[in-house]
Amino acid sequence: MNEFLPINKQEMLERGWDGVDFVYVTGDSYVDHPSFGAAIITRVLESEGFKVAVLSQPDWKSTADFTQFGRPRLGFFVTSGNIDSMVAHYTAAKRLRHDDAYTAGGVSGKRPDRAVIVYSNIIKSIYPDSPVIIGGLEASLRRFAHYDYWDDKIRPSILLDSKADLLTFGMGENQTVQIAQRLDRGENISDMRDILGTCYTCPTVETPYEGVECPSYENVLSSKREYAKSCRIQQDEQDHISGRRIKQKHGKTMVVQNPPMPPLTQKELDRVYSLPYTRAYHPSYEKLGGVPGIREVEFSITHNRGCFGACNFCSIAFHQGRYVTSRSKKSIVTEAEKLTRMPNYKGYIHDIGGPTANFRKPSCDYQLEHGLCKGKKCLAPKPCANLNVDHSEYLDILRSVRSLPGVKKVFIRSGIRYDYLLEDRDDTFFRELVENHVSGQLKVAPEHCSASVLDKMGKPHIEAYIAFSKRYFQYTGEVNKEQYLVPYLMSSHPGSTLDDAIELALFLKKNHIRPEQVQDFYPTPGTISTCMFYTGLDPYTMEEVYVARSEHDKALQRALLQYYNPKNHHLVEEALKRAGRYDLIGYDAKCLIKPGSKPGKKYKSNSNSSRTYKKRSKGKSGRR
């Protein structure tokens, strides 16, 4: 039976330890599953021979939790958890969330806002000489001066606000091990300025000569154009082959990002996922009802990292990188066999996926030597002519796992890049996906239908989704199944005008799609789209971009995507009149609403409300 790492002094003493090498502080409840970054980093440190305690969701209004293990021999690692603490706490409308999937019992309020800053400052106040290394998504995406949606202003690098000694960005395993080993050898953390995948601060007079300097904190504060320039530089230098050191001045201090750490090799990835995870939440949470966040991933397998899709609103390219690496078939099958022996296993493996499920290798041969192209995308607006498309290895893995004893079904719940799938001349994977790996509905992400909006999103044009949809329903009908498509949609993305939202509403009506939920664009740190939201500029062209900023303007666009819901009638009517589209108010089949309907009438959902009403060969289409 695998053991959890100690989460309090009593568990530390029960192991026979009188102290620890590292305290790993996290804003999440402790879940020892490889879908959780805290589990991976702590198990990697353990595998290198270090004694690690996990300080999960400490009380930040007191110092008691932070001192219970005593001063660690080597230092503290600090993260907000699996996601940014502000995203965990607030909706896109900045309203407080009522629950928290990464907290035992699903309760909210167990971590502070800006958890990395709060935790790190407390540690520095107690143990000023103890090394503090911050990492995880919150630190990684805030490593430079950045627009903060919740404060609606530019904040400095989180390194300065947190008073941390070092920041690791990206997935973090190798840089974490290097830091730990060098601390163990007695090296001062202030001298560790050469580790790839890390950021540090230094006086401006000690600024390294090599690299590229982006506009300073002071400049991006005063000029949105300068902010857009800094965003482009930061995005373009995140390739581990071609990326250069980046420097950004903050007053008399220089924030320095070393080039990215190369992604783990297949052998290294296999080792990371073979570590002795319990694949469960800590038993102390059982009386609270467990940790909800594990439910979707408990019987899921991560087979890859990185995403060359690189949508502009997604932070994966800035955090994990665009270079795709993957685990070996043997490693994945071994993990699947472990799942079949778990107590709660019911015969279903919920996912073999990752950031994008059907990526296994880098997008082309050119990048292997030169790195990924700067300022270009592999799939948008159209797939690159140099793209290597091959699903055979992934298909072989799926076939092997679904043939294991005890496996009834293997689903794919991670996102499928349908535009990449369409480029495969061999439709064997597509057909087997439809026949064997869809759990009633397949989630895909067209996001919008307007070409101009999709260009700002970095997504393929809607023709790709239409072509994919036709083939999906064709293959579904051929195997005599009734399955659905769930198209994710986004409203109010930078570049989306009221006319674009109306175009999307008409597309949904034409295709009998009735989304029950619509995601407003959420300006999170570290994305190109967030730069557009703040500056009103496309950082790659410096052209002006329309942005729906007010809550009312966002509500109009969101209502159009659910034009059929009576409670939205007054908003849809206002939007159509504002756009001069009186032709869409009436009794004709083309109209979105009828005139004179009373707003506020309760909309009654039914079992088909999230799906299309138009059957296609036993298939239907719909939304999330």
Condensed to tens digits (0 to 9), the pLDDT of residues 26-38 reads 999 999 999 999 9
Q: Which residues in 429-575 belong to E strands, given as ranges?
A: 441-447, 484-491, 519-520
Question: What is the pLDDT confidence band of residue 597, given thresholds at 50, 70 and 90?
Answer: low
How far apart (Å, rounded) are the C-alpha atoms in residues 116 and 340? 37
pLDDT tens across 454-500, in order? 999 999 999 999 999 999 999 999 999 999 998 999 999 999 999 99
**pLDDT at residue 622 above 50?**
no
Judge whether residue 598 has pLDDT over 90. no
pLDDT beyond 60 at 280: yes
pTM over 0.85: yes
Cα–Cα distance between 278 and 298 in angstroms, integer?
A: 11
What is the mean predicted confidence (pLDDT) over 103-118? 97
Instruction: Please name every residue paired with 490 in a beta bridge, in sequence order, or none if there are none.
Output: 519
pLDDT, tens digit (0-9, with 9 covering 90-100), for 541-594: 999 999 999 999 999 999 999 999 999 999 999 999 999 999 999 999 999 999
Lookup: tokens for 607: 């079992």
Contacts of 116 (CB under 8 A, 6+ apart): 27, 78, 79, 80, 85, 134, 136, 138, 139, 142, 158, 162, 164
617 pLDDT above the threshold of 60: no
pLDDT at 607 over 90: no
Judged against a pLDDT cut of 70, whether residue 188 lies above it is answered with: yes
pLDDT above 80: residue 298? yes
Mean pLDDT value across residues 141-164? 98
Query: Residue 623 — pLDDT band, cuts 50, 70, 90?
Result: very low
- The least confident of 179-188, 192-201, 435-444 is 435-444
The C-alpha angle with vertex 348 and arms to 347 and 354, in degrees rounded to 5, equals 145
Q: How far apart are CA 594 and CA 592, in angstroms?
A: 7
Helix, strand, coil share of the chain (percent; to 5): 35, 15, 50
Mean pLDDT of all residues in 110-129: 98
Three-state SS for 132?
A: strand
Task: Evaluate the CA torsion angle 525, 231, 222, 497 in order and state its sign.
Answer: negative
Give the pLDDT score at 415. 86
In this predicted structure, the answer to whether residue 599 has a pLDDT above a threshold of 60 is no
Percentage above 90 pLDDT, the chain: 93
CA–CA separation, 100 and 292 (whole Å) = 8
Report the C-alpha dihedral over residues 586, 588, 592, 598, rounded to 10 degrees. Answer: 40
DSSP state of 563: T
Phi, psi torsion values for 228, nearest 5 degrees: -60, -40
Cα(550)–Cα(36) distance, integer angstroms: 35
Which range among 22-26, 288-292, 299-303, 414-418 shows the weakest confidence by mean pLDDT?
414-418
Q: Is the pLDDT of residue 379 over 90?
A: yes
Q: Is 431 exposed, middle or buried (0-12, 13-18, 19+ CB in 10 A)?
A: middle
Strand, coil or helix: 135: coil
Mean pLDDT of 346-375: 95
CB atoms within 10 A of CB 577: 12
Residue 297 CA to chain centroid, in angstroms?
Answer: 15
Which percentage of the chain shows pLDDT scores above 70? 95
The pLDDT confidence band at residue 618, using thresholds 50, 70 and 90, is very low
**Residue 2's pLDDT is what?**
65
Which of these ranges, 184-198, 427-441, 593-607, has the smallest mean pLDDT? 593-607
Residues linked to residue 300 through DSSP beta bridges, in sequence order: 351
Q: Is the pLDDT of residue 621 over 60?
A: no
**In contact, 594 and 586? CB cutoff 8 Å:** yes
For residues 272-283, average pLDDT:
97
Segments of 529-622 assigned E as strands: 620-621
